[in-house]
Structure 1
Amino acid sequence: MVRYLLVCCLLCWAAAASAQVSETQPSGAISVEDSAAQDAAIATRIRGILEELDGYQDVTVTVSNGIVTLRGTTIDTAKAAELNDLVGRVEAVVAIENNVVETTDVVERLNPAVDRFMARINQTVAYLPLAMVALTAFLMVVLLGLLIARFKQPWDRLAPNAFIANIYRTLVRLAFVVGGLVIALDILGAAALLSTILGAAGIIGLAIGFAVKDTVENFIASIMLSIRQPFRPNDTIEIGGDTGKVIRLTSRATILLSFDGNHIRIPNATVFKSRIVNFTRNNERRFTFTLGVAYGTDLAKARDLAITTLADLPFVLKEPAADVIIQDLGDSTVGLFVAAWIAQHETSFGRARGEAIRVLLQTFDQAGIEMPEPTYRLLTSSADQSSDAKPTKPIIAPPMGGQTVAPEQDRQLEKIIAQEREELEDGDLLAKGGQEE
């Protein structure tokens, strides 16, 4: 088995060697006649060809019986290898003895590099006037774009806010820079280079985009929020469980002022993807609470009395009308769910709800409608001893639909927001009109 493998390897090596020889040596029939004149003609022809080519000045040629012998040095090995192909094309060449080697002389190796360097300098000097024209054209186009981008109109009119207007201006500058580059490269006759530059810029931009993904996401969210305008300055909103009044929308975050006076900075990417509850957008707002009446109460009478009492309040809207619903059955009371609407831009939400509770309690008391307190039995260690504990006032459920703010506190928060917006008005992306999408 090993013997067969060795034979196969030898055959493959022989085939490769013969192929190499056939590639580097002349092929075809060899003439029977020999002539010194023919050898001299071959040598003269080869010397003439080498004199016209660079890098073969130190190569000598001798021909005997059609066999060409090459001796001498070249500046690199590739030049020496090319001689076989070149000489093999000369008619009547039988074989080639290539003894040309790569030179190690420093001067000879540096001379071509110096020549190439000088040629490039001369070419650069020759191109300087054309390059100056191309540069001038590029600068003129870029300056024109900068001048157009500096105008307030039509960018301020087209954009909903200053942030979007600045984006329009940046796009205009970028378009003029690319246009100037195209014109300059076209003047230089290198317009094909533009695709390479743009391709490289695209790859770099993609890599940077992946590296600063969160920043890019935040920036895009800022653009979308500034266009949609889901809230206005001083609106009371809730974002992901954070509730407060809107101070401003910046290019990176939405800033709220909580009812405790704390700043809440929420990244715009989070704001854009979160559920936003705006308690201020609509003028009509509903307040709710629950009152408990005794089980023996005429529930229809209590319900009608509550609706009439709410309707008579001056701050309660006629449309949508107030309503009272028998909601649930407690341990000692029947729960009445009370709901009424106010114009919150004209009436304080917290004060309206508190006044409605006060008036209803007073009305029920005057009408003799019992509102019993919950009764609790406390068992001590002795089974026959017990005591009853009663709260002094009826329990009223907390409001639904947002946090209640006292009127004075609300005005104080609005004053703080107005001061902060006045200090940094330029950093706000919210339109003064604040129209929702």
Structure 2
Amino acid sequence: MSRSIVAICGMLIGFSLHFGASTNQVHAQDESPTADDVAAEVTGADTESTKKAAQVADEVQVDPVNSDQRIETRLQEIMEATGWFTEPLVEVDRGVAFLSGTADTTNHREWAEATAIKTSDVVAVVNRVKVAELPLWNFAPAIASLKQLGREATGVLPLVLVAIAVAMLSYMLARAGAGLTRYFTRSRIDSSLLRQVAGNVVAVLIFIIGVYVALRVSGLTRLAVTVLGGTGLVGLALGFAFRDIAENYLASILISLNHPFRVGDLIEVEGAKGFVRKVTTRGTVLNTLEGNQIQMPNSTVYKGKIINYTATPLSRQDFTVGIGFEDSIVEAQEIVMSVLNDHVGVVNDPAPIAIVESLGSATVNLRVYYWFDQTTHSPLKVSSSVIRLVKQKLTEAEITMPDEARELVFPRGVPVQVVENLPTAPPSLPKPSASRTEPTQSVGEGDLKAEQSEVLRATEDDEIVEGEANLIA
């Protein structure tokens, strides 16, 4: 009985000793520093960098019975085989691996540590591997990026060539579409500017579609969508940036549609008067009666007050003539009307008139109105001829045309000399010269024709006028 109790107690004591040894061994293994702790203590690397290290095998197999020498040899061979380390050196002492040398990157340094800790019978790793310092002028990354870019460019080169071919084809189709549009709208749209605008719109649409297809073929789908989506934004931005140019362009379209004037018309806009030579997409070109050129923005012309002197063939002129108070007003009116009725440049419908306008200090002022055809006669020449003939006829009828009365003041008086012997007969007055017939057209007035052809002929070699297409007839 006592022997059994002793045996049982011995077994319990042995089990306790065995369990305690096993437990101490487990605690010793648990409390041993891990690879991450050793690496963090020796190199200062954080666990986040370790997570980014290269993947390694879970366990490196060696012979079941390992010695420090065999582990050292195996790890030395592995580090030398990779080519990532300069002068690698591995030393193993009682299961602790000491790694030395220089690694090209931090990831490869961490990879060596992780590989050593997973080797059989290695209980700890002391990582003394240093990372090679990069030189200040290191062009290796740039060269590597250029090589990678070259490889990518070579890969997409066929797609780019196809995209360029598609873009060129779309450009030719756009030009052909614009030409066909202008051709088919020739009989429906009279304005050359509107035909040009319609052709440009069709060409732009075809070209945008071609660019979209080219970008899709080259693999730039996002860029293609961006081009289509950004077309409106680009147009809006350009509209704000070139607002004045766009305004003039739209004004040229409206002018060509409304036809407020035509080439050769005499117009006046914002104080500028001249014959219309051309309307371009930028402005309206006028030639003044003095032979000068005026180029006005189309927006100013369209929004301004336009006086078209040649919109209707007939135009009215007027002038004033003063006669003496002792002369007959009716007789003077009859003389003036006879001159107007017989003049070749004055039309009878509407009929001319000669009315009393005002009473001056020394004259009775008559206002004379008459109409003439400005398409065939010059207003300056006809006015000169009419005034000249009226003056001549009034002079022949002994109707005076006195000047305005003037008052002379003599502050010291006027000396008077008494003449004792007066002449028996008054001196004879000069006889009036014999009346002569005034011609309707004088040398200075010429043939009374309109100056339009002369002004336009004098400026027909204008480079600005000849440089661009005219948008109106």
TM-score relative to the length of structure 2:
0.55
Give the aligned partner of residue 456 of structure 2: 417
**1:326 CA displacement:** 2.6
Correspondence for 1:138 among 145, 154, 167: 167
Matched, 1:243 2:273: yes
Matched, 1:190 2:193: no
Q: Distance in 1 between matches of 2:348 and 2:308?
A: 23
**1:288 CA displacement:** 0.5
Q: Distance in 2 between matches of 1:198 and 1:41?
A: 59
Give the aligned partner of residue 336 of structure 1: 366
What SS does the corresponding residue of 1:292 show, helix, strand or coil? strand
Matched, 1:429 2:453: no
Q: Distance in 1 between matches of 2:250 and 2:106?
A: 57
Distance change >3 Å, CA 291–CA 322, structure 1 → 2: same
Answer yes or no: is the 8 Å Cα contact 2:212–2:227 preserved in 1: no
What SS does the corresponding residue of 1:384 show, helix, strand or coil? coil
Q: Distance in 1 between matches of 2:104 and 2:448?
A: 94
Higher relative contact order, chain-length normalized (CA < 8 Å, sep 6+):
1
Give the aligned partner of residue 51 of structure 1: 54
Q: Distance in 2 between matches of 1:381 and 1:410?
A: 55
1:202-229, Cα deviation, whole Å (9 max, x unpaired) = 8887787777776666555555545544
What SS does the corresponding residue of 1:51 show, helix, strand or coil? coil
**1:231 CA displacement:** 3.2
**1:287 CA displacement:** 1.0
Answer yes or no: is the 8 Å Cα contact 2:317–2:369 preserved in 1: yes
Correspondence for 2:296 among 267, 289, 304: 267
What SS does the corresponding residue of 2:183 show, helix, strand or coil? coil
Correspondence for 1:350 among 355, 380, 391: 380
Which amino acid is 2:160 matched to? Answer: A
What SS does the corresponding residue of 2:404 show, helix, strand or coil? coil
Give the aligned partner of residue 281 of structure 1: 311
Answer yes or no: is the 8 Å Cα contact 1:236–1:278 preserved in 2: yes
Answer yes or no: is the 8 Å Cα contact 1:161–1:429 preserved in 2: no
Correspondence for 2:207 among 153, 177, 190: 177
Bigger mean CA deviation after superposition, 235-244 or 159-168? 159-168
1:278-333, Cα deviation, whole Å (9 max, x unpaired) = 32222010011112233355656755775576456565434433333332221112
Distance change >3 Å, CA 349–CA 430, structure 1 → 2: farther
Which amino acid is 1:414 matched to? Answer: S
Q: Distance in 1 between matches of 2:369 and 2:32?
A: 120
Structure 1: give runs of 5+ residues left out of the alignment. Answer: 1-32, 60-70, 81-98, 387-391, 393-404, 433-437
Which amino acid is 1:322 matched to? Answer: P
Question: How many residues of Structure 1 are paired with residues of Structure 2 in the alignment?
Answer: 350
Q: Distance in 2 between matches of 1:352 and 1:194?
A: 69
Q: Distance in 2 between matches of 1:166 and 1:327?
A: 55
Q: Distance in 2 between matches of 1:222 and 1:203?
A: 25
Q: Distance in 1 between matches of 2:207 and 2:284?
A: 33
Q: How does 1:207-218 map to 2 (within 5 A)?
A: none
TM-score relative to the length of structure 1:
0.58
1:75-96, Cα deviation, whole Å (9 max, x unpaired) = 689xx9xxxxxxxxxxxxxxxx
**1:145 CA displacement:** 0.7
What SS does the corresponding residue of 1:133 show, helix, strand or coil? helix
What SS does the corresponding residue of 2:325 show, helix, strand or coil? coil
Q: Distance in 2 between matches of 1:283 and 1:333?
A: 35
Correspondence for 1:326 among 339, 345, 356: 356
Give the aligned partner of residue 402 of structure 1: none
Matched, 1:127 2:156: yes
Distance change >3 Å, CA 369–CA 197, structure 1 → 2: same
Distance change >3 Å, CA 275–CA 76, structure 1 → 2: farther
Matched, 1:154 2:157: no
Structure 2: give runs of 5+ residues left out of the alignment. Answer: 1-25, 37-47, 57-81, 86-99, 111-127, 417-431, 433-443
Which amino acid is 1:333 matched to? Answer: T
What SS does the corresponding residue of 1:431 show, helix, strand or coil? coil
Answer yes or no: is the 8 Å Cα contact 2:376–2:449 preserved in 1: no
**1:411 CA displacement:** 6.1
Answer yes or no: is the 8 Å Cα contact 1:235–1:281 preserved in 2: yes
Q: Distance in 1 between matches of 2:147 and 2:242?
A: 45
Q: Distance in 1 between matches of 2:412 and 2:173?
A: 97
